[in-house]
Each structure stands twice: as C-alpha cells, then as structure tokens.
Homo-oligomer: A and B are copies of this chain.
Amino acid sequence: MKHIFISCLFFFIILTSFSQTKEDSLFVKQVFTEALGDYEAYENLRYLCKNTAGRICGTPEAAAAVEFTYQTMRNMDFDTVYLQETMVASWKRGEVETGKIISSYGNFDVNVCALGGSPGTGKGGILQEVIEVKDIEELEGLSKSEIKDKIIFFNNPFTNEHFYTFKSYSEVAKNRYYGPSVAAELGAAGVLVRSMTHLTDKSTHTGITKYIDVQNPVPSFAISTYDANILSDLLLKDQNVKVFLESHCELHDDVLSYNVIGEKKGKKNPDRIITVGGHIDAWYNGEGAHDDGVGCIQSIEVARLLFELDIELNNTLRIVMFIDEEMNQRGAKTYASETIFEGEEHYFAFESDRGGFSPLGFSVDADSGFIQNMNVWFGLLYDYGVYRIEEGYSGVDISPLKEHEIPLASLITDSQRYFDYQHAETDVFENVNRRQLQLGSAAMTSFVYFIDKYGY
C-alpha cells in the first residue's frame, strides 16, 4: 500500500515539474526578486496611510487618496489612467465619541466609537440602562417593554477554534450589521456592539451598520473588548448599571467620488479585460493600512512588476482603486454595471482585501476547470509559501461581476492577526511588514501572468 502511495506521489511530482517550463520558473524568480527588492510600494503605502488616514467615502481624505493613487498611476507606463464617476454616501464622524459606565461600583470611562452609518446622539448624549444579549435572536426573544428606551449591548465574543479568523468574524458580524436596526425597530434607545476582534484590548473596531427601512435609527457604537468584559461583569452584579454615550456623526447628502482606473492594452486581445483591484476608502479611526491600503498598493504593484520585467499581457490589464467598499459598495456596483453595460468582455477579476500578511494562496470563485488548469503553474509558487487554492468567495468589490459568470479570485493571507487591526485605530502603517506586503504583490502578479498566458 505504502509503495503504491509513494510511487504515485513521485509520479505526481514528475508530471508537475514536466508541465512547468524554464521560462515560467524564471518568471516566478524574477517577479518575487523584484518585488522583495522594492521599497517604493511600501513608501507609497506609508504616504497613503499618513496623509489620507480616515478616508471613508465622501471625505476630503478619500478625495486625497483618489488623487494620490491617480497621480501615482499617471507616473507609470499605463496607456491611460482615468477616474470613473460614482455617487457615494457622505457620513461624517464629527467629534470623537464618549462612553461611560455609571454603576454602584463606580463610574468608568469606556472606549467606544460610532458604527458607520449611525446617527449621532448629539450634544448631551444618551444615558440609559443596559440589556446584554448574545445576538439578534436573543434580543428578539425579549418583550418590547423590556427593550424600550434601553441600550442594547450585543456581546458575543469571537470563537477561537477556527484557523481562518474570517470565520470567527462571519459568525458574529451580523450583530453589527443588523443588530442596531432590529434594536431600533423594537424601541431601544441605542446600541453597543462588542468590537470584532480576537484580542482583549482597548481598541475599538467600527464598521458599517445597516438601517434598512428603519424609521428611527438609533445611535450605535462599538465598544472595546476590554470594556465589554467590564460592562458584562458589572451587569451581573448590579441591576442598575447605566451607560452614557455621546456621538456626533451625521449622514449628509450623497457626493460625487471616483474609482481610479489604470489601463494597459493587451497585445492579443485588447478588448478583453483583466481587473485587479483593492478599495481606496477606509474607516475614519485608523490609517486603513491592512484594510485596504495594502490591496490598493499591491494592485498597482502588479502593473509595475509587469512593466519593470517588460512583460506584455495578451489581455488588457485594468488596475482599479474601488471607492466606497466600506459603506455601500457604490464604486464596485458602478464599475460592474457600467462596464457590463458597455458590452465589455471580462476575462477574470482579482481582488486583494485580506491584509498585508504573508500570502498563502488564492480563493477562486470559478468552475472546477479553472482550478484544474492552475495546476500547470501553481506549484512554482510553493517556494514562496503560496500553496493553497480554495474554491470560494473572492471579495466584495469584484463580486458584482459574478452574476455575469466572470471568474473571480482573491489573495488568501495569513489571517491570524487580521482582526487585531481591522477597522480599528491600530490599523496603521507600522503594522504592515514590507516583505509580507511584497510577497503578496508577487503572488498576485504571478496569478495574473499565468492565467493570462495559459487561460482557463
């Protein structure tokens, strides 16, 4: 039995090697060497982080980020660089939020921040009793009289056991997405949601909340996990705990913004498009380093690496900085609908939005033939730690292309630290490692090059 197994493994290795040309090996070595030796991409990330921090769509910071990436791409060898207009929401944080626990054990300042899309409490804030629930189901099991005028505290910690931290996030993120909406409908005065992170610390993790068809949305906040634990402990001991919350966020009229697009025509199929992108907007409280300055810089780097190595693709390469991923995905929707409307032929689309950590592989949303064909070249990336192909979700900004049956893919990264930083004040440049960023750029470039070369 063991002999058959070993022979078979050996045969597998030979066949894999046979199908990889020397040219392909050389390409992989060149692209990774060039990427790892580069410092400019990392400096561009530093600029984006330090000069456009808080670039949620509709803000001057978002406009500055659009301008910076536009100018950066204009200085490269694209055939054309242009802005694609789209209207976006304009929600502004205003003054920094305040939170305080009032209890018979004393009063404690707590770290809170407004959820994206939430109304503010305005000056004077709100001061109410608190009801802790695990999730929306538990909230819906309570009577309206219990909920009325209370602050609803969604406190469901991340589970630890999953290898992919995104799985822990997906289990509880609906508390943030829909919890405030449900609480508002049931008569609550406000909402606190436990920050979405594995860490127990004082950072606050914001993110969008959706008030769908809600007549009277209520002010909603994220509370740090450290403070959530304190509040939860106090609620066990003291029936009369109140929380004071104040925020000054406001939703304004939609404003004009842009996707930024750089394009290099393909030599064989200039009308067939490969889209590679990340999102240029980021939450108000950090620098949007991992989420998703990295994805933008890596996408631009895909083009730079190909230009630097004098490689012309068969198909047209389009690098897209999507606006408004965090709020309403208006940039993504505009990109998909306008390009499809214009009858463009899309070959495939690739997104990077899982942080600048070491790349592990690719998540591919396409038929199984696509993945089988990847085996011709995929083994070449093993030497750089890229070894996983998974069928599944690609990413938010390219997902509107899915209904048109366009193959989609995204970078899988080492996600262990991702939610240490996501949507928090700790998502800063210093927490991105240059080498890990650039391994991702090279992995993406390899994907684009090989699919362009070998098809699917």
Give A residues with C-beta under 8 Å from B: 1-2, 4-6, 8-9, 11-12, 15-16, 19, 32-33, 36-37, 160-161, 163, 165, 198, 358, 360, 372, 375, 383-385, 387, 414, 416-417, 420, 433-436, 439
> Contact at B8–A12, with CB atoms within 8 Å?
yes
> Contact at A358–B414, with CB atoms within 8 Å?
yes
Known: A6-B372, A360-B385, A372-B6. A37 touches B416 (CB 8 A): no
Q: Which residue of B lies closest to A15 (CB)?
A: B5
Q: Which residue of B lies closest to A4 (CB)?
A: B15
Instruction: Report the minimal beta-carbon distance from A355 to chain B, rounded to whole angstroms.
Output: 13
Instruction: Report the minimal beta-carbon distance from A294 to chain B, rounded to whole angstroms.
Output: 14
Since A8-B8, A37-B160, A165-B435 are in contact, a sample of 6 more A-B pairs with Cβ atoms closer than 8 Å, ordered by chain A residue number, is A1-B19, A5-B12, A6-B372, A32-B161, A163-B384, A358-B416
Residues of B contacting A436 in the complex (Cβ-Cβ under 8 angstroms): 416-417
> Contact at A161–B33, with CB atoms within 8 Å?
yes
Give A165 to B439 CA distance when docked, in angstroms. Answer: 13
Residues of B contacting A433 in the complex (Cβ-Cβ under 8 angstroms): 416-417, 420
Partner of A9, one of B12, B360, B420: B12
Give A163 to B383 CA distance when docked, in angstroms. Answer: 7
Give A385 to B385 CA distance when docked, in angstroms. Answer: 10
> Contact at B384–A387, with CB atoms within 8 Å?
no
Instruction: Report the minimal beta-carbon distance from A199 to chain B, rounded to whole angstroms.
Output: 8
Which of A2, A8, A16 has its CB near the most chain B CB atoms (within 10 A)? A8
Instruction: Report the minimal beta-carbon distance from A290 to chain B, rounded to whole angstroms.
Output: 14
> Contact at B160–A36, with CB atoms within 8 Å?
yes
Residues of B contacting A1 in the complex (Cβ-Cβ under 8 angstroms): 15, 19
Residues of B contacting A36 in the complex (Cβ-Cβ under 8 angstroms): 160-161
Instruction: Report the minimal beta-carbon distance from A379 to chain B, rounded to whole angstroms.
Output: 11
Instruction: Report the minimal beta-carbon distance from A176 to chain B, rounded to whole angstroms.
Output: 21
List, sorted by A's number, 15 A–B pairs whose CB atoms are closer than 8 Å.
Answer: A1-B19, A5-B15, A6-B372, A8-B12, A33-B161, A36-B160, A36-B161, A37-B161, A163-B383, A198-B435, A358-B414, A385-B414, A387-B387, A416-B435, A416-B436
Give A163 to B436 CA distance when docked, in angstroms. Answer: 10
Instruction: Report the minimal beta-carbon distance from A8 to chain B, rounded to whole angstroms.
Output: 5
> Contact at B32–A5, with CB atoms within 8 Å?
no
Partner of A15, one of B8, B16, B33, B372: B8
Give A439 to B36 CA distance when docked, in angstroms. Answer: 27
Instruction: Report the minimal beta-carbon distance from A437 to chain B, rounded to whole angstroms.
Output: 10
Residues of B contacting A385 in the complex (Cβ-Cβ under 8 angstroms): 163, 360, 414
Give A434 to B198 CA distance when docked, in angstroms. Answer: 9
**A-B pairs with lowest CB-CB distance, top 5:** A36-B160, A33-B161, A5-B15, A416-B435, A37-B160
Known: A12-B12, A198-B435. A19 touches B5 (CB 8 A): yes
> Contact at A375–B161, with CB atoms within 8 Å?
no
Residues of B contacting A37 in the complex (Cβ-Cβ under 8 angstroms): 160-161
Residues of B contacting A387 in the complex (Cβ-Cβ under 8 angstroms): 387
Give A419 to B417 CA distance when docked, in angstroms. Answer: 19
Instruction: Report the minimal beta-carbon distance from A421 to chain B, rounded to whole angstroms.
Output: 11
Q: Which residue of B lies closest to A437 (CB)?
A: B416
Q: Which residue of B lies closest to A382 (CB)?
A: B388
Give A301 to B274 CA distance when docked, in angstroms. Answer: 48
